[in-house]
Homo-oligomer: A and B are copies of this chain.
Amino acid sequence: MQLIYWIDLFGVFVFAISGINVGLQRKLDVFGASVIAFATAIGGGTIRDLLLGSTPVGWMKDANYIYAIVLGVVLSLFFRPKVQKLSNTIFLFDTIGLALYSIIGIKKALMYDMSPVVAIMLGTVSAVFGGVLRDVLTNQIPLIFRKEIYAILSILGGGLYFLIVYIYGNETLSMYISMVFIIVLRLVVVKKKWELPKL
């Protein structure tokens, strides 16, 4: 799990960069944008932990998460024009973060004896509610409620996770396959500009 820990820290770092850029675009000052960076990076995991009753919540017990966010914030502020040119790189890591948070959320929910359906929901909450919090705090209707098929990928990947565990009984294999599935599917979805219908 050592590898996952580092990817997880990297996910927090990337979500913080994404958050501070949104904050600055929306005319917040440096402090406000930094709060948005924090909320984007740890919001999903925090809501998951609160719902499970896993407190103090995760990032409060391991300073590396805070350092990763601060690093993302500081780098974004100092190299702002360059960070914006890296949008492809950020998009890639954002996608990795989506996959990783979805599956880590499921694992954590299972540690608390949640059913598969609740576990998939909590995986999705972990992956997308940082962005929801970011949008609520900047007074916008959350992006994933309107345009992005983002959250559906998390749900499908979560379903695949349990399917593979059910068929092959191998949790580690299932974890990696469903993560790769989410990443590939997101790349396809964005390429093809698939959207959900509005009624």
Tell me the A residues contacting B by CB distance below 8 Å.
23-24, 26-33, 35-36, 46, 50-53, 55-57, 60, 63, 66, 77, 80, 112, 114-115, 117-118, 121, 132, 136-142, 144-147, 149, 151-152, 195-199
Chain B positions within 8 Å of A60 at CB level: 51-52, 114, 118
Query: Taking CB as reference atom, which chain B residue is nearest A145?
Result: B32
Q: 5 nearest interchain CB pairs?
A: A32-B145, A53-B55, A29-B196, A28-B145, A139-B141
21 intermolecular pairs with C-beta atoms under 8 Å apart: A23-B145, A26-B141, A27-B146, A27-B198, A28-B145, A29-B147, A29-B198, A32-B142, A50-B50, A50-B55, A51-B56, A51-B60, A52-B55, A53-B55, A63-B115, A66-B118, A66-B121, A77-B199, A136-B137, A136-B139, A137-B145
